[in-house]
Structure formats: C-alpha cells, structure tokens
C-alpha cells in the first residue's frame, strides 16, 4: 500500500531536515518544517516507525530507514520535476510554483513521472537550482557554495538559491538576476560584509550579507 499524502509529507520533511546534518530529527523540528502543532507529530512518527520507514524514539527523535529515504526521494523527485515543468512549459514564475508542486507531488503514477522526466529532457536541477533525484534515487552532484564565501575578485556563475521564500525570489526578479547569470565580486565591505558586485559583466549592484548568504554559485 502506498504512503498517504500525510506520510509522504513527513518523510520528505525528515529528509530535508537531515540535509542540515542534525542526525536524529526531534519532533519540534518536524512540526516547524510542516508548520503544524508539535502535539500531533508523535502519533504519526509511531505509525511511520511501525511501517519501517523511520527509526524513532521519543527521546532521540526520528531518522529515515533505507526504505523511508527511497520514498522521500520519490516525493522530492516529483516535486522538483513538476516545478521544472510549470516554469519551462506553462510559464509560471519561480516564486509561484512551490505550492502547486506541493499538490502535484502526491500523484502516484510512475509511468506519468517517467514520461514527464523524458518530456523535460531529464533535467538535473530544478528552477531554484535544487538537484532532481533520478528514477534510481541518485542525486546529481553539485559543487555550489554560498556567494558569502567568495572573496573580492572572484568571478562566478549563479546556480541556485538557499532561500526560496517568495519575497526573496521576487527581489531577485526585481534586481534582474537569474539562474546562470554571471557575477563578479568587486568589493566586500568590512563593516557589514555587503558585496559590491557586477552582474553579467555590466550592471553594478550592492548585495547585503543576507542576500549573499542566500545565493549559490560555482
């Protein structure tokens, strides 16, 4: 029997939190990720543990089993493929697609998913720069790191966002900065670590430290 929508949401949340290197994931972190009441989390985690999709104790928290991780990656694969489809084929902007993909990620047809992947040309990254797991659950390697880790004189390519909030994506649209654009760090202000940058070899701008900590480059 396939996982329910709620179960898939939990598995995906645990996987995404685990990417931060936190080991066992506490109930509160899961509740915050899902934006739900912490009191409702314990019972669902017990159900997931009974199905062997997670390892869980109330004192230590939860971690995915191998089977649970496979299920989580399938949900993430669907979500990111749908985001790619919505942007590339239906003209959605990158700040509009998350909520729609949240609904579409629970469609269970493996055939449709494989054909969607083929139709899109087997993309490796979604519109936000996140890697798309393939049909085997393998995740494309990314060497991206934060712009804030760069130094003056560095010339980089913008490949993704660490902050996918609607307000930040709209800010980048207003600045006119998009995936695969070039960026050169002209100067870093000692006082607040803001960066004076040149975008695409011509447009000068100043990015705050917060913005620099939200941009991924290679």
pLDDT at 1 over 80: no
Cα–Cα dist 210/103, whole Å: 30
Q: What pLDDT is stored for residue 37 in this prediction?
A: 93
Architecture per CATH, 5-64: Orthogonal Bundle (1.10)
In this prediction, residue 81 carries a pLDDT of: 98
- CATH classification code of 145-217: 2.30.30.90
State the average pLDDT over residues 4-19.
97
Q: 68-92 burial by CB neighbour count: b if 16+ within 10 A, else e?
A: bbebbbbbbbbbbbbbbbbbeeeeb
Residue 20 has pLDDT above 90, yes or no: no
Question: Residue 2: what pLDDT?
Answer: 86
- Work out the angle at residue 69's Cα, subtended by the Cα atoms of residues 63 and 75, and round it to the nearest 5 degrees: 125
**Domain boundaries of the chain, sorted by first residue:** 5-64, 145-217
Name the residue with tokens 């917060």: 210
**Which tens digits make up the pLDDT trace of 60-109?**
999 999 999 999 999 999 999 999 999 999 999 999 999 999 999 999 99
pTM of the model: 0.93
**What pLDDT is attached to residue 21?**
80
- The kind and range of the H/E element at 28 are helix 27-34
| pLDDT of amino acid 40 | 92
Q: How far apart are CA 123 and CA 146, in angstroms?
A: 22
pLDDT tens by residue, 151-194? 999 999 999 999 999 999 999 999 999 999 999 999 999 999 99
């Amino acid at each position: 029997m396939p996982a329910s929508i709620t179960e898939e949401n939990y598995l995906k949340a645990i996987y995404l939190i685990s990417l931060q290197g936190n080991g066992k994931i506490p109930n509160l972190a899961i509740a915050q990720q899902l934006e739900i009441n912490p009191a409702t989390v314990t019972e669902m985690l017990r159900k997931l543990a009974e199905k062997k999709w997670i390892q869980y104790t109330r004192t230590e928290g939860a971690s995915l089993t191998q089977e649970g991780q496979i299920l989580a990656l399938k949900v993430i694969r669907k979500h990111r493929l749908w985001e790619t489809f919505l942007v590339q084929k239906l003209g959605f902007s990158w700040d509009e697609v998350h909520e729609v993909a949240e609904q579409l990620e629970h469609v269970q047809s493996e055939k449709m998913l494989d054909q969607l992947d083929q139709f899109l040309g087997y993309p490796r990254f979604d519109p936000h720069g996140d890697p798309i797991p393939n049909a085997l659950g393998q995740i494309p390697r990314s060497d991206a790191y934060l712009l804030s880790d760069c130094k003056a004189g560095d010339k980089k390519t913008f490949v993704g966002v660490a902050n996918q909030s609607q307000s930040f994506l709209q800010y980048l649209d207003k600045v006119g900065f998009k995936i695969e654009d070039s960026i050169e760090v002209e100067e870093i202000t000692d006082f607040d670590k803001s960066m004076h940058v040149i975008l695409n070899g011509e447009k000068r701008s100043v990015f705050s430290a917060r913005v620099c900590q939200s941009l991924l480059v290679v």
